[in-house]
Structure 1
């Protein structure tokens, strides 16, 4: 569990719902924010349910800690987390991935520009990562690295050989070094080289 999730008390209130919520480690329903079923098994963390027994509202940790705003590079205004959708069915799509959007799930929206986005598209899966701050990457790499998102002319990942376009990656801060790795490849790299 990350520090941000650990700081959430077992009972809380959120502006997204009128009743108090409580943590239920056995809950097995569906998240009202994203529509994903709560996972069972080894990594199961439970969810937050409404204290009102008649109310079926429940959300997972990820939705509970979702930032209230997101920035989209082609919009001058911040996108705001929205919980209800009164758009016509033909307007229910994501302006970033251009895929369909479920009107029952939360999304980010700018009323001034009429732009909407899935939460994962708006944050690209990493809303709390600070880009550009140098750090040391374990024992596997000697130079300082930093988190980056590369939009144009992306280099290829040193692990999977795929371009690092619009994905969170770690890149060397040394100007004469070409080291860059997708965030998703780091976990597998650590498993393969855990004996170093």
Structure 2
């Protein structure tokens, strides 16, 4: 089962947008890959609709979406069409047809104490170097939180860009945690910087703008 920091296991798969190979897919972009238990089910429909309705926000964060379930291409296409007709929401991102469970097993999406034939609600955040940066798992009966998925994605990207860490409940515009000083000179410079919120010598926050 992949872990945070691992290279994302490579695979080739059939999707609703054609065949993809992860290692050369969406080069230079982040990927959020997520599994759902089954097509034509209520919780999954709300979740997939949520990803579709907020796709522009993922686009703005230079991120591609990839869905997955252990269903056929025909089932995926029928479901996409059904939801579009009934609600006007269009799942305009690739959905992997993982009938042989190859990708589900590769990524630990099949968890026997939950189900041996349906993928749990997993989310994998994969950076442009194809490294796994964050993993979320939800059971079959609890839908995910789209705000948290986007918040976590933006936090990862902000941390990478500015070399900072994020405190509890951080969201865009909040102060970030800066690395602790490594020398006496750095500690003295921090003490003299009025733009930094100093809780203690090892815990300090600042605004990015």
Provide TM-score, normalisation by structure 2. Answer: 0.28
Structure holding more helix per residue = 2
Structure number with the bigger relative contact order (C-alpha 8 A, sep ≥ 6) is 2
Question: Normalising by structure 1, what TM-score?
Answer: 0.29
